[in-house]
Chain A
Amino acid sequence: MAEFFQQVVAGLATGAIFAALALALVLIHRATGVINFAQGEMAMFTTYIAWTLTANHGWSYWPAFAATLVLAFLLGVGLQRVVIRPIERASILTTVIVTIGLVLIFNGLAGLIWSAEVRAFPSPFPNDTWEVGGVAISQQDVGTFGVVLVMVTVLWAFFQFTKTGLALRASALNPDASRLVGVRVGWMLAIGWGLAAVLGAVAGMMTAPTVFLDPNMMQAVLIYAFAAAVLGGIDSPFGAVAGGLMLGVGLNLIGTYIDFVGAGLRLPVALLIILVVLLVKPAGLFGKAVTRRV
């Protein structure tokens, strides 16, 4: 039993990271219908900025963390303005291809600026563990989980209780009507990109202390985040978080308890399960099925 809980605890921490990035994907998708393939690489890139601030400029952790979030926001807004907006009217696939271009650029730039060498990234949480009934609970994992939870809550409150949040939701839901009532939809989309980049930066900075920082750090995480977002329902923020946590825990349990699976087939089996879920619920677990009017 101890091993079961051990795997669950481990899974929740990984799952929280999937959840943060999945949420970023959902944010952009809800606003524009686009899957931003560069979300992971943007997260990696902003994490490098945090690393430079702490390692090269002697900043302490939390100021660097905050500054990185601000820079990430500006990066997101800037990208939307410079490369996404000009092709607003082209097909969604064109935008998706542009985000693939961004993947290449950020990955390459990180290598160009910081080399492909693996680096240590500081963590604000102590490296100790608590022993609870034979289960080792890492304080790092608890901290990661907590930070993601706080971020998600803040974001939710922002969307729910602020005027900008309302405008953001409105322009995602019905851009034309929002325009009529005076919402600057273009800027709202840019802010959406900015917030997504902030979430990505959090995911990156929480991932890096564990998997260490290199230009390819977020590639695997992005695939899982994509799966988590779809599992939960690509338009449901709550679903993204739930999907991320379920995926994190599920992957560990599959690897532990289904013997023929082992680690080699963990990913295929997890994806198969998601496919089956999608066949039963084609809009994900928490997504609303699209009803079409004739």
Chain B
Amino acid sequence: MRRPRLLLALLALAGAIATGATAATSADPGITAKTILVGGTTPLSGSASAYASVARGANAYFKYVNARGGVNGRTIAYKFVDDGYDPARTVQATRQLVEQDKVFAIFNSLGTEHNAAIRDYLNAAKVPQLFVASGATTFGRDFKQYPWTIGFQPSYRAEGWIYGKYLARTKPGAKIGVLFQNDDYGKDLMAGLKQGIARSKVKVVAAQPFDVTSPDVQSQISRLKASGANVLALFATPRHAIQGYVFANRLGWRPLIINNAVSSASNIMTLAAEGGTNKAVENSVSIVFLKDPTDAKWRNDAAVRLYRSIMSRYARGANQKDVYHVYGMAVAYEFAKVLKAAGKNPTRASVMAQTRKLNDPANPFLLPGLTIKTSATERFPIEQALLQRWSKGSWKSFGGLWGYRAG
């Protein structure tokens, strides 16, 4: 599906150079000799406000960079504004950032529908929409239509695919029951899973959707159990994923549980275990691409130590166990790196051109061995992950790196 096609690659490259060259003559908004201003939206209020940690982590990292002289002599100002997780407000806030605050780029805005709502506008205005905080496939796949947009995290489809392949290889008789959030995120994971188990004996025997607004998922889990599934896939955000464990345990059901990466941080797993469900949590499988700050094996890791010191200095009072902060730092690190690579006089176009040739095997906040890589025809920055198994209170990774290959 994404095999490089030479002609297209050349065309895209030529286009990039051309636009870069013309844009360089006039300075873009949001950038001066001393500063660069980027902005983004995030839910600071409402039901999704736990995700605000991503923006706060990124902000703390920029402050750290600024304290050390910034990037090419420029300090990075990052203005993140609340959208209450309502796409209509995302649109308003983004237009305000672009038209009133005159940001150089939109960076790290959070949410699938939210980014989809502003994508056409940003592309028409030729404002970079950098490192979208959503794993929806469209942000990496549809780059021809949206050259000013790029994602960051592994796509949900790739993640689902990895689980599917893993089951097909190691548990040929698996019957999967899926609990999925009834939106693009849940459906993308599900589509990837189905793609991964294609042409194998593994089957999805039941799939139960739930709405983010529902108080609990008891009825769904009970139906999944009744379907005779022996694998339970939790394609849900933390609250409902934890409930998946709790209710499976209450029903005395002991399937192999697959928990998606949005909800598999150690602190969340520990919570699920504290809910008295140790046995249900044990041997869960998930993917991982970030260094989890609560994981004992990173206790003395240089990057995690840096993470802690940045947090205590620039995000005082924030919960350092929250892995979303690490995600924010990883994405902020990559942005700083792109900015540096774009040279002394970066333009919107030249920054965008840099995001099309990422090749960074050393983002310190990601697992060692992971490479952030893009090309003219391949716009999924992180496509690799490790599988990990929860055992006696912590995640243990196993096997080699999984890289998503369609088909």
Contacts and interface: CB of A to CB of B under 8 A. Distances in A.
Nearest to A13: B218
A115 B238 CA distance: 15
A267 B211 contact: yes
Contacts of A14: 215-216, 218
B32 interface: no
12 contacts: A115-B319, A118-B242, A120-B275, A123-B276, A126-B276, A127-B250, A127-B276, A131-B252, A138-B251, A211-B239, A219-B47, A267-B213
From DSSP, what is the main secondary structure of chain B's interface residues? helix
A11 interface: yes
Contact of B218 (A220, A223, A252): A252
Size bracket of the A interface: 35 or more
B246 interface: yes
Contacts of A129: 250-252
B52 interface: yes
B45 interface: yes
A255 interface: yes
A165 interface: no
Contacts, number: 109
A3 B319 CA distance: 42
A108 interface: yes
Size bracket of the B interface: 35 or more
Contacts of A11: 219
A74 B352 CA distance: 58
A294 to B, nearest CB: 44
Contact of B319 (A6, A117, A255): A117
B297 interface: no
B19 to A, nearest CB: 40
A123 B250 CA distance: 14
B277 A127 contact: yes
Contact of A212 (B223, B242, B249): B242
B219 A255 contact: yes
A264 B249 CA distance: 24
A224 B226 contact: no
A235 interface: no
Contacts of B242: 118, 212
A224 B267 CA distance: 30
Given A14-B218, A131-B252, A263-B182, A3 B50 contact: no
B347 to A, nearest CB: 37
A282 interface: no
A212 B52 contact: no
A263 B252 contact: no
B211 A264 contact: yes
Contacts of A210: 216, 218, 243, 246
A80 B215 CA distance: 28
Interface in B108-128: none
From DSSP, what is the main secondary structure of chain A's interface residues? helix
Interface string A169-210: 000000000000000000000000000000000000001011
A115 B246 CA distance: 23
B401 to A, nearest CB: 30
Interface string A1-16: 0010011001101100
Nearest to A120: B274
A18 B50 CA distance: 25
A52 interface: no
Contacts of B215: 14, 207, 211, 220-221, 224
Contacts of A264: 182, 209, 211
Interface string B201-226: 00000001111011110111011001
Contacts of B251: 6, 129, 136, 138
B49 interface: yes
B271 A10 contact: no
A102 to B, nearest CB: 15
Given A108-B45, A210-B243, A7 B277 contact: no
B210 A214 contact: no
A131 B251 CA distance: 9
Given A3-B226, A14-B215, A118-B239, A141 B209 contact: no
A275 B139 CA distance: 41
A6 to B, nearest CB: 5
Contacts of B246: 210
B226 A116 contact: no
B322 interface: yes
A140 interface: yes
Contacts of B277: 127
A118 B250 contact: no
Contact of A116 (B52, B208, B274, B275): B52
